[in-house]
Structure 1
């Protein structure tokens, strides 16, 4: 009996961890799309729009893990903090902040994504879920560095 309860508790923890990451991915998916629309540099704009699609794919992968665990459809649309962050980015764009300012906003969002993955991977997760999150985290870190490097290049 205790084993069943333990398994149930572990499943609940895994679900909570994945829902937190999915919420962050929803925020970053929308953030990349919104900021990408305002960028003037076509290369960076294409990266942002592609990255928005990548985040949607990451969400789908994690939602599939939840479905496999028996959880019904996921209805995560992002967080209030993420919506405020995107609004701040839109305001910067409307005030003529330029690509550097938008990339600063994007990097702040990427910091949140890095933190969400770090927190998730500190949890006790089943190996397949841990491997999926680790693979996604590697991409998140690479994306963060891309945004940061381009932001720094525009500063100088």
Structure 2
């Protein structure tokens, strides 16, 4: 259980930072606010998972994110600096959301206590909704 939660916490760390970074570069104010709100939700999800670890006696949770998450954020920043518009940033965000989706899918395949499985399922539902929102807006910008 500890390994599963730590992996998800690191994925959420990447997701939170990535959403906030992309939100800073978006020109569309509605999308910008959405990305900042989603970043805060990911921070909340991390807190919920850290609380679960604390309840099971694990006091030190060192969240560093993942190497691939760091690379993705740097790549997104580079795209923004090179003049990539909202469509390009949404493509990068969708890739990040794909990583979050995969992390939850992997975690939910593990043997977990029912309350923890339910918590992860609820969080996963929000991640899936966010992914679909980002993809929908990316496609709408591509169609313009």
* Aligned counterpart for 1:147 among listed residues 134, 137, 142: 134
Matched, 1:109 2:117: no
Q: Does 1:58 align with 2:48?
A: no
- Structure 2 distance, partners of 1:80, 1:119, is 18
List 4+ stretches of structure 1 deviating above 3 A. none
Q: What are the ranges of 5 or more consecutive residues in structure 1 without an aligned counterpart?
A: 1-13
Instruction: Give the Cα–Cα distance (whole angstroms) in 2 for the partners of residues 77 and 31 of structure 1.
Output: 13
Deviation of the 1:80 alpha carbon:
1.2
Q: Distance in 1 between matches of 2:47 and 2:64?
A: 13
Coordinate RMSD, CA, aligned: 0.5
Question: Is 1:17 aligned to 2:4, yes or no?
Answer: yes
Aligned runs of 1:1-156 on 2, under 5 Å? 14-156=1-143
> Within 2, Cα distance between the matches of 1:73 and 1:101?
37
- With normalisation by structure 1, the TM-score equals 0.91
Structure 2 stretches lacking a partner, 5+ long: none
Alignment TM-score, normalising by the size of structure 2: 0.98
SS at match of 2:57: coil
- Report the Cα distance in structure 2 between the residues aligned to 1:139 and 1:68, rounded to whole angstroms: 24
**Number of residue-to-residue matches in the alignment:** 143
